[in-house]
Structure 1
Amino acid sequence: MYHLQRTFDPIPQSVGHARGFVTSAIGCHVDTPRCDDIRSCVSELASNAILHTGGSGNPFVVRVSTDQHGCVRLEVHDQARDTGPVLADHQDTDATEGRGMLIVQLLSDDWGVDPSPTGKVVWSHFASAAQAAEHAACKPPTGPAARPGLPTT
């Protein structure tokens, strides 16, 4: 398993920096069609982290993990202690919040929100198109112990 993480300031420019970081981190480890999905999701998750923690000045952490089969786990750790992202009703054309998480839901194989010691972790999982059915490692982890929060550094 390969893990990389980076801390970002809660400013709008960090969305592009987070997207670039994840693009570099996954590099040639991931099927090309999934790269676009992952880049879109990191943009949405980083935007949410900025929206929910930007006023506090607290940074957020992006962590990306890949395995030997090309599966990717994307995590955004922030210090907001809210209940987590809101998922818009896709039929509500007037909704002003939650569309980003709807995109994450549609593009990833699984996603969720877990509490962490310093706030919360919003994660998404992307199975390799060629390997998902063959390898148990490409299935997302389950249970709170499988998705621990990062220690504060």
Structure 2
Amino acid sequence: MRTEPALMRERLFPRCRQTVRSAREFTAETLDAWDRTARLDDVLLCVSELATNALRHGVPPGRGYRVRLLAYEDGGVRVEVHDSGPGLSRIRLGGGRGLAIVAAVADRWGAVPRSPGKAVWCETDR
């Protein structure tokens, strides 16, 4: 089990498709500042998929989504995308491929309920 994160940064993004690019840029800038770029491409792919999933399925009109980044002492990185939509995210047969991509690229992923909504997260090891 991981210890408490050493670093944390988050940003709220409005409900707009163009913010997926902004979420990737925020992530790239943050991981560069933290010197956590060993798996940058994997993390950026996960951010793209999780943010897109939140926009398509979890962000009601007039709301936004939050990207939270955490860095651990062991070099690992956690990405969380929080939205206020109902239900928990899961991989669906015949559905989109976003979460299947996250599951393939990240070392771990999951979803936890919040009030309102949920947080979908993934972690990459060093």
Q: TM-score range by the shorter chain?
A: 0.7 to 0.9
Does 2:106 correspond to 1:101?
no
**Aligned letter for 2:36?**
V
- What is the count of residue pairs matched by the alignment? 120
Residue 70 of structure 1 corresponds to 75
Name the structure with the higher helix share: 1
Q: Which has the higher contact order (CA 8 A, sep 6+)?
A: 2
Write out per-residue CA displacement over residues 30-61 of structure 1, whole angstroms, 9 at most, x where no aligned residue: 243x1100000000000011102455221000
Does the 8 Å CA contact 1:49/1:78 hold for their aligned counterparts? yes
Normalised TM-score (structure 1): 0.73
Residue in structure 1 matching 2:36, options 27, 30, 48? 30
Q: Percent identity?
A: 35
| SS of residue in 2 equivalent to 1:29 | coil
Gaps of 5+ in 2: 1-5
Specify the structure having the higher radius of gyration (Cα): 1
Normalised TM-score (structure 2): 0.88
Does the 8 Å CA contact 1:29/1:66 hold for their aligned counterparts? no
Name the structure with the higher strand share: 2
Write out per-residue CA displacement over residues 90-149 of structure 1, whole angstroms, 9 at most, x where no aligned residue: xxxxx3x23011110000000000001221000001111xxxxxxxxxxxxxxxxxxxxx
| SS of residue in 2 equivalent to 1:80 | coil
Listed as ranges, the matches of 1:1-153 within 5 Å are 1-27=6-32, 28-32=34-38, 34-85=39-90, 87-89=91-93, 95=94, 97-128=95-126
Does the 8 Å CA contact 1:10/1:49 hold for their aligned counterparts? no
| SS of residue in 2 equivalent to 1:82 | coil
Q: Would the alpha carbon gap of residues 54 and 79 (structure 1) be closer, same or farther in structure 2, given more than 3 Å must change?
A: closer
Does the 8 Å CA contact 1:113/1:120 hold for their aligned counterparts? yes
Distance 1:59 1:31 in 2: 27
Q: CA deviation at 1:4?
A: 0.2
Distance 1:117 1:88 in 2: 23
Does the 8 Å CA contact 2:31/2:37 hold for their aligned counterparts? no
